[in-house]
Amino acid sequence: MEKQFEYVTRLDVKFEHLQRMDINQMVNDCKDKWFNQTLTQVNDSAIRLGIVEGEYHWHKHDNDDEFFFVLEGQLLIDLEDQTIELNPNQGITITKGVMHRPRAPKKTVMLMVETSAIQPTGD
């Protein structure tokens, strides 16, 4: 049986090409503690918006790298031997196969770039 997590993850593409996105409106409307929405698809990559507060679970992606870029707030990414701190206008790529756990001590807004085939909860 697949483990269930209390995250809102929407993998549908919310905006088609040439359609303007209003990220501020999405942030203002969000009531969830851990929300992830695919904004658009660029070739084989999905561009996702994360509005998060709290902890995600430890996981890895065997076949996919994952890019995080903080717009506001603070994102901590725990690795097995260190914690990476990302503040606004900072980003990092987590290499496929690396065990990690994102955490946000306060409401954080971030963009993620990953393949559209990725399983967000990990492999």
**What average pLDDT values come out for the chain (123 residues) when binned by 10 residues?**
71 96 97 96 97 96 97 98 98 98 97 92 85
Torsion sign (Cα): 78, 84, 85, 91 = negative
Question: How is residue 23 annotated by DSSP?
Answer: H
**Which domains, from first to last, does the chain contain?**
8-115 (2.60.120.10)
SS3 sequence of 41-97: EECCEEEEEEEEEEECCCECCCCCCEEEEEEECCEEEEECCCEEEECCCCEEEECCC
3-state secondary structure of 98: coil
pLDDT at 123: 83
